[in-house]
Amino acid sequence: MIEVPTEAPTQVNVIEMRGIVKTFPGVVANDHVDFSLAKGEIHALLGENGAGKSTLMNVLYGLYRPESGETRVNGTPVMFGSPRDAIALKIGMIHQHFMLVQAMTVTENVILGLQTLGVLIDEKTAETRIRELAERYGLKVDPKNFIWQLSVGEQQRVEILKALYREANVLILDEPTAVLTPPETRDLFSILRKMRSEGRSIVYISHKLEEVMDISDNITVLRAGKVVANVKKSETNKAELARLMVGREVIFRLSKAQAKIGEPVLEVENLSTLNDRKMLALRNVSFTVREGEILGIAGVSGNGQRELAEVLVGLRRATSGRMLIGGRDVTAATPKEIVDMNVGFIPEDRVGVGLVMGLPILNNVIMKNYRDISKGPLLDYSMASDYAGKLIKEFDIKTPNMRYPTKTLSGGNLQKLILARELARGPRLLIAAQPTRGLDVGATEYIRSAVLEQRSLGRAILLISEDLDEILSLSDRIAVMYEGEIVGIVPAEGANIEEIGLMMAGSKRLERTS
Amino acid sequence: MLSILLALVISAIPISQGGVNPIEGYYELFRGALGDKLSLTETFAMFSPLLLCGVAVALAFTCKFWNIGAEGQLYCGGLVAAFFAVNAGGLPSFVAIPLMLVAGFLGGAVWAAIPAFLKVRLKVDDVVTTLLGNWVMYYLVSAILYGPWRNPKTGWPESPIIAESTFYPILIPGSRFHFGIVVSLLVAVAFYIILKKTKWGFELLAIGGNPRSSLAMGISVSKQIILAAIVSGGIAGLAGVGQVAGIHYHMKTDLSPGFGYTGVVIAMVGGLNPIGVVLASFLMAVVVQGTQAMHRATGVPWALAEVIQGTILLCLLIGIFFTKYQVRRIKA
């Protein structure tokens, strides 16, 4: 980083970005964007997926170099060569996809890359400080745990700890609540408020209107790479923000037809399994999903939902109990056998389980039926690209070219890609885990309607979601998970939200029904 | 291109240290590798095992099976092929040579399948097992050749001469431009087809990109890794066959001067890409052959010739790095 002496600053803004332009092949991600952040404010960056919010902040954090534009920190023009320069100026960032080393402990991740480390690493002291910070901000996490053992929510706390450990004065959070449960979100907000009261500035990237209205002082709205508005929270409202964000009025209601319930497709009986820490993650879970119905699994993240989905698709072995698909015992089936039984799977971890990011979009679209697009051992690439082209169009996946690496897609388009791949095969059972997490209003609406359409086509759907609104509006029956158990199954119609909330919190359980 | 030039400039230092005018040295290098028919055919004889090892490693690396054991697989393939070839007396060439190729392929395949199996079943690190396998195989070959299989006629630690019907045909008379060069080019073409056209190649790329996603999407990851290891080891085994049947006509303890290890470099320099691997192998062959010629013609010490090889490689790798990642000076 090279600093250049300049005239005295005329404003007190911590961050001042002007005319930022950043392009990717075929896309202008930031088109002359101006952004300023004052000391001690929470500034929301609002916009749909692919609007350029993350790009702008990655520029600020030194991950991307803009084609043009200027960034000033405390009035001094800076040019970041890497995040190291940004961190040196006390800017911290928490990405949507965490930047943690899975094979290292929490402590090791927090101190990783610190300049002040000597040759010998004093982990004890670091650990003590991490515990102090965690205590002070209420970030529940054990410094001795390995990252791979942590839930997504816990991993985020490690990221926050990392920034706090580096005494960040500016903290950028990219869709932080996408991975959090409502109580965790409340905790996060109180942490953020505490940081603000200490004079730190926070950039809050989100597309969730409620949260933005709740937490922020100022709001900058981005649409298609451009700033469309910069407003004070006190001078706006949700409806106006929604209109600014999507450029049209949004319909929040989904119409749902009467369920036509048929034969049982997925039957789960007393299923148990262990998590990565070899602890019981699933305890005697039983339920049935029938043709034409959506069974919603509600619950706070980390109560066994991930393990349940993994067992059902064969990625994790059951320790006891059994499961049947279409009457056939698949308890010991491999993932391939499950795929061959025409089970669609939308994984919670899209990047880690659902996609191969380094390969072309084309490859990912055909990843589940490439075996059928073939002449003998040869893969028919021209047929494959016809097929993929059709799906890309049908599911409105925004990309200039299907031969580009999948990692060039934005979050919403990644999920549409998975959806396209899974639904195109007409699955008889669809397992959808957090299908709309982290997606913007438009994509969420699209995916929910697609799931409902599958239901009306008579397919069995298991919907695992932390979003209670989603569960309530899509499901026919709702099963609530708490600490690896199903504590109750209730019909969605006339469901008592209070009751479900109590079950999610573990303070109420129903007699087992199924 | 710039990096090759840079390599030449930097390598001029050790050459002149050897008491030789660098220009003269380079003249000898290129003349010795590409200058006339004999040197060109010799370069191709070097190119063949390098290409096979490069493809073997590149194929394994494509699905993240870290096969550093091409050297051991080469020896194992050579050993099994030689054992067949020594005893293949009565068979006509058109039967004996294909059978010898199969024998060599199987030899290399078995030696690669063991670490692959340990990797997928017991999660034993493949880098360690394949690397250690090299030494086990090398000393096993030595033990056999110094012991039970010592050449009875000469008393040297080498196998008896292989049956004449298993000699690789020489394609350019008066040279060592043998049939194995054709084999290696065919293997390279096969590698291209596998990666770009087949379902199996599609699977290998997916596994290399993200094994967990691949598993979730119904690819039998373990099976494909073992299969890739078998094919990779088999191809390295073919390099051993080439050295036995095309160059030495014996199984020897110094069958390879490290082709298997150079294969790792070639695979990386070639970016695991079939065409890149062919180019990298050829370049490597030119450098190796050329520095040897320079050593002979100008008297640059042999150790320095190896230093020059290393320097050229290093410059190339740096060059590739700079092309891949745009490195720019930050302007204030």
Does ipTM top 0.90? no
What pLDDT shows up at residue B178? 94
Residue A469 belongs to some domain of the structure: yes
Å between A341 CA and nearest CA of chain B: 11
Both tokens of B143, joined, read 């033990």
Query: Considering the domain boundaries, does residue A297 fall inside one?
Result: yes
Q: Are the Cβ atoms of A358 and B209 closer than 8 angstroms?
A: yes
Chain A interface, Cβ < 8 Å to B: 1-2, 4, 79, 81, 313, 315, 334-336, 338-340, 345, 347, 352-359, 363, 367-368, 370-371, 374, 377-379, 381
Sign of CA dihedral B143, B148, B149, B155: positive
Q: Are residues A197 and A102 in the same domain?
A: yes
Find, in chain A, the residue whose alpha carbon is nearest to that of B328.
Answer: A81
State the pLDDT confidence band at A43, using cuts at 50, 70 and 90: very high
Look at residue A125 and tell me if it is in a domain.
yes
Residue that wins the pLDDT comparison between A508 and A228: A228
pLDDT of residue B15: 76
Residues A216 and A104 in one domain: yes
Instruction: Indicate yes or no: CB of A339 within 8 angstroms of CB of B218.
Output: yes
B90 vs A363, more confident: A363
Tell me, yes or no, if B21 comes closer than 8 A to chain A by beta carbon. no
Residue to mutate among B125, B217, B324, with most A CBs inside 10 A, is B217
**How many cross-chain Cβ pairs, A to B, lie less than 8 Å apart?**
74
A308-362 tens-digit pLDDT: 999 999 999 999 999 999 999 999 999 999 999 999 999 998 999 999 999 999 9
Do A335 and A477 fall into the same domain?
Answer: yes
% helix, strand, coil for chain A, step of 5:
35, 25, 40
CB-based contact, B330 to chain A, within 8 Å: yes
| Sign of the C-alpha dihedral computed for residues A33, A34, A37 and A43 taken in this order | negative
**One-letter amino acid for residue B272 of the chain:** L
* Nearest residue in chain A measured CA to CA from B330: A81
Could you tell me if A311 and A202 lie in one domain?
no
Nearest CA in chain B to A311: B216
Rounded mean pLDDT, A229-255: 72
Cα–Cα dist A66/A59, whole Å: 6
Residue where one domain finishes, among candidates A246, A281, A298: A246
Judged by CB atoms closer than 8 Å, whether chains meet at A379 and B197 is answered as: yes
| Number of CB atoms found within 10 A of residue B259's CB | 28
**Residue A363 domain-assigned?**
no
- Give residue A115's pLDDT band: very low, low, confident or very high (50, 70, 90): low
Among candidates B199, B219, B331 on the partner chain, residue whose Cβ is nearest the Cβ of A374? B199
| Pair of tokens at residue A37 | 């952040």
Q: Which residue of B has its CA nearest to A353?
A: B213
- B330, A2: Cβ pair inside 8 Å? yes
Chain B contact set for A311 (CB, 8 A): none
Does residue A301 share a domain with residue A233? no
Minimal C-alpha gap between B199 and chain A (Å): 5
Q: Do A368 and B217 touch (CB under 8 A)?
A: yes
B51 touches chain A (CB under 8 A): no
Whether A150 is covered by a domain: the verdict is yes
Which of B132, B140, B149, B131 lies closest to B264 in space, CA to CA? B131
Short-list A152, A154, A146, CA closest to A105: A146
Interchain contact, B200 vs A345, CB within 8 Å: no
Whether residue A242 is found in the same domain as residue A271: no
Q: Which pLDDT tens digit goes with each residue over A445-490? A: 889 999 999 999 999 999 999 877 788 889 999 999 988 999 999 9
**A279 located within any domain:** yes
Which residue segment(s) compose the domain that A242 sits in? 15-246
Which residues in A lie closer than 8 A to residue B200 (C-beta atoms)? 377
Option in B197, B205, B217 nearest A339 (CB): B217
Q: Which pLDDT band holds residue A7 (cuts at 50, 70, 90)? A: very low
DSSP alpha helix (H) spans, chain B: 2-17, 22-30, 37-62, 70-86, 93-122, 126-146, 179-197, 199-209, 211-216, 221-242, 259-269, 274-298, 302-324
Q: What is the pLDDT of residue A185?
A: 82
pLDDT of residue A179: 66
CA distance A35 to chain B (A): 21
Q: State whether A59 and A200 are in the same domain.
A: yes
Put simply, the answer to whether A79 touches B331 (Cβ < 8 Å) is: yes
Q: How far apart are CA A425 and CA A344, in angstroms?
A: 8
- The verdict on A188 and A267 lying in the same domain is no
In a shared domain, residues A332 and A226: no
Q: If pLDDT is split at 50, 70 and 90, which confidence band does A26 have?
A: low
Whether B13 contacts chain A with CB within 8 A: no
Closest Cα in chain A, distance from residue B217 (Å): 6
- With contacts defined as CB-CB under 8 Å, which chain A residues touch B198? 377-379
Q: Indicate if the pLDDT at residue A385 is higher than 50.
A: yes
**Which of A221, A246, A271 represents a domain boundary (last residue)?**
A246
Give which of A199, A218, A208 is closest to A43, Cα–Cα: A218
Q: Which of A203, A221, A246 is the last residue of a domain?
A: A246
The answer to whether the Cβ–Cβ distance between A354 and B216 falls below 8 Å is: yes
Q: What is the pLDDT of residue A138?
A: 76
Does A283 lie in the same domain as A235? no
Q: Which of A81, A98, A92 is nearest to A14 (CA)?
A: A92
Report the residue of chain B nearest A370, measured CA to CA. Answer: B199
Least Cα separation, residue B202 to chain A (angstroms): 8
CA distances from A257 to A491, B219, B239 (A): 15, 37, 66
What is the CATH classification number for the domain harbouring A512?
3.40.50.300
B223 lies within 8 A of chain A by CB: no
Q: Residue A430: what are its φ and ψ, rounded to 5°?
A: -120, 125
Whole-number pLDDT of residue A247: 65
Higher pLDDT, A29 or B5: A29
CB contact under 8 A, B210 and A358: yes
How close, in Å, is residue B206 to chain A by CA atoms? 6
Banded model confidence at residue A513, pLDDT cuts 50, 70, 90:
very low
Q: Which residue has the higher pLDDT, A21 or B1?
A: A21
* Distance set, CA A458 to CA A324, A397, B27, B211, B291 (Å): 18, 26, 77, 33, 72
Decide if A368 and B200 are in contact by the 8 Å CB cutoff: no
A1 contacts in chain B (CB < 8 Å)? 330
Q: Is residue A276 part of a domain?
A: yes
- Render each residue's pLDDT in chain B as its tens digit; 332 residues: 666 777 778 778 877 777 778 888 888 888 888 888 889 999 999 999 999 999 999 999 999 999 999 999 999 999 999 999 999 888 999 999 999 999 999 999 999 999 999 999 999 999 999 999 999 999 999 999 998 888 888 888 889 999 999 999 999 988 999 999 999 999 999 999 999 999 999 999 999 999 999 999 999 999 999 999 999 999 999 999 999 999 999 999 999 999 999 999 999 888 899 999 999 999 889 988 888 888 888 877 888 778 877 887 787 777 777 766 655 555 44
Which tens digit of pLDDT belongs to each residue from A139-188? 778 888 898 888 777 888 888 888 888 888 999 998 888 667 777 788 88
Residue A384 has pLDDT above 50, yes or no: yes
A286 confidence band (pLDDT: 50, 70, 90): very high
Residue B13 burial (CB count, 10 A)? 13
Looking at residue B178, what DSSP letter applies? B
Tell whether A21 and A156 lie within a shared domain.
yes
At A393-435, the pLDDT tens digits run 999 898 889 999 999 888 889 999 999 999 999 999 999 999 9
Using a cut of 0.95, tell me whether the model's pTM lies above it: no
B206 with A367: Cβ contact below 8 A: yes
A242 within a domain of the structure (yes/no): yes
Residues A238 and A272 in one domain: no
Q: Are A463 and A287 in contact (CB under 8 A)?
A: no
Of the pLDDT bands very low, low, confident and very high (cuts 50, 70, 90), residue A5 is very low
> What are the Cα distances from residue A375, in Å, to A218, A360, A382, B191?
58, 21, 12, 18
Between B199, B205, B216, which is nearest A371 by CB?
A: B199
User: B87 in contact with A at a CB cutoff of 8 Å?
Assistant: no
pLDDT at residue number A250? 45
Domains and CATH numbers, chain B: 39-318 (1.10.3470)
Question: B56 vs chain A: nearest CA distance in angstroms?
Answer: 20
By CA distance, what is B326's nearest residue in A?
A: A65
Asked if the C-beta of B195 comes within 8 angstroms of chain A's C-beta atoms, the answer is: no
CA dist., res. B177 & res. A349, Å (int): 54
Question: Mutate which of A4, A148, A306, A356 to test chain B, going by most B C-beta atoms within 10 A?
Answer: A356
Closest chain B residue to the Cα of A65, Cα to Cα = B330
Mean of the pLDDT values across residues A5-31? Answer: 74
State which residue of chain B sits closest to A351, comparing Cα positions.
B213
Domains held by chain A: number: 2
Q: Which of B200, B215, B218 sits opposite A377 (nearest CB)?
A: B200
